[in-house]
């Protein structure tokens, strides 16, 4: 059993407790950034990050991929930003630098780059387009994805899909001023170090994105086991990716570095050929549902397909396999 | 009576007050269960607690969530409230009541509070309603229920929602009905200090099926019209709440009995007073026990000086909230003279864990106040 977890019962159980503060330091050391923050979920971490970048600007725009986990664009909309969709590159399934360049405006405060299935995005190319200080890397499959290049923040879901599962979320940043804003937004407006005062003296109106102590107590053990879990995942990925697929057009999506290998995403160059899904399932793979194009959803304004040709191809051309 | 502890005298009370949260092997077993299962986000424990709490409060639907701030945000989003909409709230509350409104893009509108219970004044609410008003956020401050009769009438008259901010009012009832099953929906906080706690957690309750379905859709990955937000409670939180819920009725009874005794002790004093009773309030949760400090009876000593001296005697008392519109970053117009006066000159509170103490310990609270009152000259002269 985890003695750290049970020992937590003997202290305060929440609101910036000692386990949470220790976990933040440990996570920053693990990912190699100056600061980290553990929150109650991955979307909570994303919300704190986007609020830190967008502030209270009513005209703030956040660029997000039109294909992927709907939570990223949801959070951008939830904070009141205008969600501007850019297309993906079909061979990576991730945000296209070229499409992103077309969507930039003076109001762009953040560019959300999702790691599809744990795949490593091309951060360098995207940073070259929009500036590293706007890049938010969204890692819905948790830790282990190579992040080569500068970025404003990396945000992880530390849930069941992650090699580090504590039922929480985390963000990692280097910029101290940004971290201070993020911390205040996540802690009811209180700056770092002011735990429970009722008078804040801080112009930031914050929410509550705090994590309880219990998940944080699990982090040391989870981090210690992470490399073994990632190695096992990567071995499974390599085996599956080299599989003898029945459709000749099928190949793993391209990525720009080491993956967390949570899922295997494959793209078919014979769109709608129909030869991929059933044989994969017959070979014992768990085929997961792929995403619906986000730009078409009423929630995001039901945009026409014209700007999103690769997303439309992905709708029927991708195969997603759980490892 | 002796010299004031504030100036080096012996404190009237040196013993500690009950620690909080209360726990034993039940909570330990709850954590073990979750750890052994290895599922840490919304799962069996969350579903089980939802059923238990719905039974406890009598609401049709119960959704455990990450905390008592996102619960408000989820309720507002489920009601379709956003930019351009107004929500009326009291200024005498925690910042979360305000931030939740701002965070969904709506405009907070302050209405003054009543000097009787420090909750929203229904007449002030009526005056604050505009064509853009979508909801009243009825905060049951300290755990004493708002006037649901009057506020429901205002809400019904204008066709707007009545959302209960019962962050501090778990288990409280109005005319015999639990506040969690009153109004359009209610939000409860399970943060570390609260009467029902898991460190960080919250609960949404409602009898409205469409609101329940909208919140559930947001927590379950979203859909074509609902955002996808992972704001559910952890399995650890839900398991701990189940254990804590079993303790709650007995703790509520202890708080009520001790609060009644404290009322009895303080009423004759004439320089402090409990809040007046209201027959419609059939259960006060007493997350905070409010003491009115009658500053004009203190011979020129301010409420704050009086409270500092009482606290130094070993009583967990403080002056409470300041109006939200005095915070940097809160820029909405306001005209709330009652909230201004109460926050600056009258209110004080004792936290709920002190009410879990033995009956005799309530006498320490009263005697500390008597001691300080007897030493007002010393306090006035600052020695």
pLDDT in tens, B292-317: 999 999 999 999 999 999 999 999 99
Sites in chain A below the pLDDT cut of 50: 196-199
Measured over the CA atoms of residue A279, residue A283, residue A284 and residue A287, the dihedral's sign is negative
SS3 B177: strand
How many whole angstroms separate alpha carbon A200 and alpha carbon A205? 10
pLDDT tens profile B15-48: 999 999 999 999 999 999 999 999 999 899 999 9
Residues 185-224 of B with CB under 8 A from A: 191-192, 197-201, 221-222, 224
Number of H helices, E strands in chain A: 10, 11
ipTM beyond 0.90? yes
Give the least confident one: A65-69, A237-241, B266-270, B271-275.
Answer: A237-241
SS3 A278: helix
Residues 129-188 of B with CB under 8 A from A: none
Distance from CA of A56 to the nearest CA of B (A): 10
Residue B345 per-residue DSSP state: I
How many whole angstroms separate alpha carbon B97 and alpha carbon B139? 8
Taking an 8 Å cut-off on Cβ atoms, the answer to whether B77 and A78 are in contact is: yes
Residues of B in contact with A299 (CB under 8 A): 222, 224-227
Residues of A in contact with B228 (CB under 8 A): 43, 70-71, 74
Taking an 8 Å cut-off on Cβ atoms, the answer to whether A71 and B221 are in contact is: yes
Residue B343 per-residue DSSP state: I
Please report which helix (H) or strand (E) contains residue B57, including its range. Answer: helix B44-57
Q: State the maximum Cα–Cα separation within chain A, in Å, rounded to a whole number.
A: 65
Distance from CA of A299 to the nearest CA of B (A): 5
How many whole angstroms separate alpha carbon B84 and alpha carbon B86? 7
SS3 B123: helix
Q: What's the pLDDT score for residue A182? A: 95
The radius of gyration of chain B from alpha carbons, rounded to an integer in Å, stands at 21
Which residues 6+ apart lie within 8 Å of A199 measured at CB?
A: B322, B327
How many whole angstroms separate alpha carbon B38 and alpha carbon B88? 43
Comparing alpha-carbon positions, the chain A residue that sits nearest to B192 is: A14
Measured over the CA atoms of residue A241, residue A245, residue A251 and residue A252, the dihedral's sign is negative
Which of A5, A7, A13, A163 best probes binding to B when mutated, by most B CB atoms within 10 angstroms?
A13
Beta strands B86-89 and B107-110 are parallel
Q: What's the pLDDT score for residue A196? A: 43
Measured over the CA atoms of residue B328, residue B330, residue B333 and residue B334, the dihedral's sign is negative
> And the tokens for B189?
């906080």
Distance from CA of A44 to the nearest CA of B (A): 7
> And the tokens for A133?
């200080």
Whether the CB-CB separation of B107 and A213 falls below 8 Å is answered with no
Instruction: Give backbone dihedrals phi and psi of A258, rounded to 5 degrees, phi first.
Output: -70, 140
Which of B94, B200, B243 best probes binding to A when mutated, by most A CB atoms within 10 angstroms?
B200
Which of B35, B66, B168 best probes binding to A when mutated, by most A CB atoms within 10 angstroms?
B66
Provide the CA A128 distance to its chain's centre, in angstroms: 20
The residues that bridge with A208 in the sheet, in sequence order, are A187
Residues 322-361 of B with CB under 8 A from A: 322, 327-330
Taking an 8 Å cut-off on Cβ atoms, the answer to whether B21 and A13 are in contact is: yes
String of DSSP letters for B242-270 = HHHHHHHHHHHHHHHHHHHHHHHHHTTTS
Whether the CB of A34 is below 8 Å from some CB of chain B: the reply is: no
Residues 250-289 of A with CB under 8 A from B: none
Distance from CA of B272 to the nearest CA of A (A): 23
Q: What's the pLDDT score for residue A8? A: 93
The residue-averaged pLDDT of B56-72 equals 98
pLDDT tens profile B124-162: 999 999 999 999 999 999 999 999 999 999 999 999 999
Comparing alpha-carbon positions, the chain A residue that sits nearest to B24 is: A9
- Inter-CA distances, B13 with B159, B160, B273, B351, Å: 52, 49, 21, 16
Residues 65-124 of B with CB under 8 A from A: 66-70, 73, 77, 83, 94-96, 98-100, 102-105
Instruction: Identify the residue whose tokens are 């560019």.
Output: A111
pLDDT confidence band for B328 (50 / 70 / 90): confident
> And the tokens for A76?
């951008």
SS3 B114: coil
How many whole angstroms separate alpha carbon B12 and alpha carbon B367? 8
For residue B230, give the nearest of A5, A41, A298 by CB distance: A41
Instruction: Give the relative orientation of helices B44-57 and B25-37 as an angle to the nearest 10 degrees.
Output: 140
Comparing alpha-carbon positions, the chain B residue that sits nearest to A218 is: B35
How many whole angstroms separate alpha carbon B320 and alpha carbon B14? 23
pLDDT tens profile B348-383: 999 999 999 999 999 999 999 999 999 999 999 876
Is the pLDDT confidence value at B345 over 50? yes
Whether the CB-CB separation of B273 and B291 falls below 8 Å is answered with yes
Comparing alpha-carbon positions, the chain A residue that sits nearest to B321 is: A198
SS3 B317: strand
Whether the CB of A21 is below 8 Å from some CB of chain B: the reply is: no
Comparing alpha-carbon positions, the chain B residue that sits nearest to A41 is: B230
Q: What's the pLDDT score for residue B1? A: 64
Is the pLDDT confidence value at B113 over 90? yes
Q: What's the pLDDT score for residue A276? A: 72
For residue A298, give the nearest of B70, B198, B224 by CB distance: B224
Q: What's the pLDDT score for residue A149? A: 84
Instruction: Give backbone dihedrals phi and psi of A21, rounded to 5 degrees, phi first.
Output: -65, -40
Beta strands A61-65 and A108-114 are parallel
Q: What's the pLDDT score for residue B14? A: 96
Closest alpha carbon to A250 in A321, A198, A300: A321
Taking an 8 Å cut-off on Cβ atoms, the answer to whether B231 and A297 are in contact is: no
Whether the CB-CB separation of A227 and A209 falls below 8 Å is answered with no
Instruction: Compute the half-sphere exposure of residue B242: CA atoms within 13 Å on the CB side of its CA.
Output: 23
Provide the CA A318 distance to its chain's centre, in angstroms: 20
Taking an 8 Å cut-off on Cβ atoms, the answer to whether B230 and A189 are in contact is: no
pLDDT tens profile B169-217: 999 999 999 999 999 999 999 999 999 999 999 999 999 999 999 999 9
Q: pTM value?
A: 0.96
Q: Using omega within 30 degrees of 0 as the cis cutoff, is the peptide bond preceding B278 cis?
A: no
For residue A210, give the nearest of B28, B95, B200 by CB distance: B200
Percent of chain B with pLDDT over 90: 97
Closest alpha carbon to B32 in B238, B192, B239, B201: B239
Q: What's the pLDDT score for residue A274? A: 63
For residue A212, give the nearest of B230, B232, B237 by CB distance: B237
Q: What's the pLDDT score for residue A217? A: 96
Comparing alpha-carbon positions, the chain B residue that sits nearest to A81 is: B105
How many whole angstroms separate alpha carbon A131 and alpha carbon A138? 16
Instruction: Give backbone dihedrals phi and psi of B162, rounded to 5 degrees, phi first.
Output: -115, 105
Taking an 8 Å cut-off on Cβ atoms, the answer to whether B31 and A205 are in contact is: no
SS3 A323: coil
How many whole angstroms separate alpha carbon B3 and alpha carbon A321? 75
Whether the CB of A297 is below 8 Å from some CB of chain B: the reply is: yes
Comparing alpha-carbon positions, the chain A residue that sits nearest to B92 is: A198
Taking an 8 Å cut-off on Cβ atoms, the answer to whether B199 and A208 are in contact is: no
């Amino acid at each position: 059993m985890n003695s750290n977890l049970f020992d937590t019962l003997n202290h305060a159980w929440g609101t910036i407790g000692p386990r949470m503060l220790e976990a933040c330091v440990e996570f920053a050391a693990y990912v190699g950034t100056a600061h980290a923050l553990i929150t109650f979920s991955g979307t909570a971490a994303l919300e704190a990050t986007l609020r830190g970048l967008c502030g209270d600007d009513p005209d703030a725009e956040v660029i997000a991929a039109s294909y992927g986990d709907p939570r990223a664009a949801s959070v951008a909309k939830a904070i009141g930003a205008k969600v501007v969709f850019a297309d993906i590159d079909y061979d990576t399934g991730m945000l296209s630098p070229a499409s992103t360049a077309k969507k930039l405006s003076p109001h762009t405060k953040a560019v959300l780059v999702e790691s599809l299935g744990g795949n490593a995005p091309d951060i360098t190319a995207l940073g070259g387009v929009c500036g590293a200080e706007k890049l938010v890397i969204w890692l819905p499959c948790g830790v282990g994805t190579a992040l080569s290049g500068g970025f404003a923040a990396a945000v992880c879901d530390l849930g069941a899909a992650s090699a580090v599962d504590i039922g929480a979320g985390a963000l990692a940043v280097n910029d101290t001023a940004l971290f201070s804003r993020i911390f205040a937004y996540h802690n009811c407006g209180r700056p770092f170090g002011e735990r429970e005062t009722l008078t804040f003296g801080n112009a930031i109106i914050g929410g509550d994105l705090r994590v309880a102590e219990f998940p944080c107590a699990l982090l040391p053990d989870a981090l210690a086991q992470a490399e073994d879990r990632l190695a096992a995942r990567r071995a499974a990925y390599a085996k599956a990716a080299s599989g003898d697929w029945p459709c000749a057009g099928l190949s793993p999506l391209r990525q720009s570095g080491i993956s967390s290998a949570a899922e295997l995403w494959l793209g078919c160059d014979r769109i709608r050929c129909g030869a991929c899904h059933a044989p994969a399932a017959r070979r014992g793979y768990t085929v997961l549902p792929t995403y619906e194009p986000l730009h078409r959803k009423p929630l995001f304004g039901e945009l026409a397909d014209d700007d999103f040709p690769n997303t439309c191809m992905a709708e029927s051309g991708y195969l997603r396999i759980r490892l | 009576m002796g010299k004031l502890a504030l100036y080096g005298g012996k404190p009237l009370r040196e013993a500690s007050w009950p620690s909080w949260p209360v726990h034993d092997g039940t909570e330990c077993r709850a954590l073990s269960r979750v750890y052994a299962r290895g599922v840490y986000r919304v799962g069996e424990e969350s579903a089980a607690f939802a059923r238990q709490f719905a039974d406890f409060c009598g609401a049709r639907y119960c959704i455990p969530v990450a905390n008592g701030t996102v619960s408000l945000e989820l309720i507002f989003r489920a009601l379709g409230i956003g930019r351009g909409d107004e929500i009326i709230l009291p200024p005498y509350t925690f910042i979360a009541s305000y931030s939740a409104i701002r965070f969904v893009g709506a405009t907070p509108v302050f209405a003054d509070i009543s000097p009787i219970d420090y909750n929203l004044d229904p007449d002030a609410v009526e005056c604050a309603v505009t064509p853009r008003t979508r909801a009243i956020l009825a905060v049951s401050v300290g755990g004493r229920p708002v006037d649901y009769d009057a506020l429901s009438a205002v809400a019904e008259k204008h066709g707007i929602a009545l959302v209960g901010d019962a962050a501090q009012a778990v288990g409280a009832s109005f005319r015999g009905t639990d506040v969690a099953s009153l109004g359009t929906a209610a939000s409860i906080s399970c943060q570390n200090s609260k009467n029902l706690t898991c460190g960080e957690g919250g609960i949404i309750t409602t009898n409205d099926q469409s609101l329940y379905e909208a919140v559930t859709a947001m927590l379950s990955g979203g859909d074509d019209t609902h955002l996808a937000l992972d704001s559910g409670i952890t399995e650890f939180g839900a398991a701990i709440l189940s254990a804590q819920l079993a303790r709650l009725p007995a703790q509520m009874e202890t708080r009520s009995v001790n609060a009644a005794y404290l009322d009895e002790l303080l009423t004759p004093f004439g320089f402090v007073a409990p809040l007046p009773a209201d027959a419609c309030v059939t259960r006060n949760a007493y997350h905070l026990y409010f003491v009115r400090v009658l500053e004009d009876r203190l011979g020129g000593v301010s409420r704050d000086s009086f409270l500092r001296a009482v606290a130094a005697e070993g009583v967990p008392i403080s002056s409470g909230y300041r109006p939200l519109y005095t915070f940097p970053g809160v820029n909405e117009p306001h005209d709330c003279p009652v909230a201004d006066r109460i926050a600056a000159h009258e209110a004080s509170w004792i936290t709920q864990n002190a009410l879990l103490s033995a009956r005799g310990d309530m006498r320490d609270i009263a005697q500390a106040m008597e001691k300080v009152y007897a030493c007002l000259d010393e306090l006035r002269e600052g020695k």
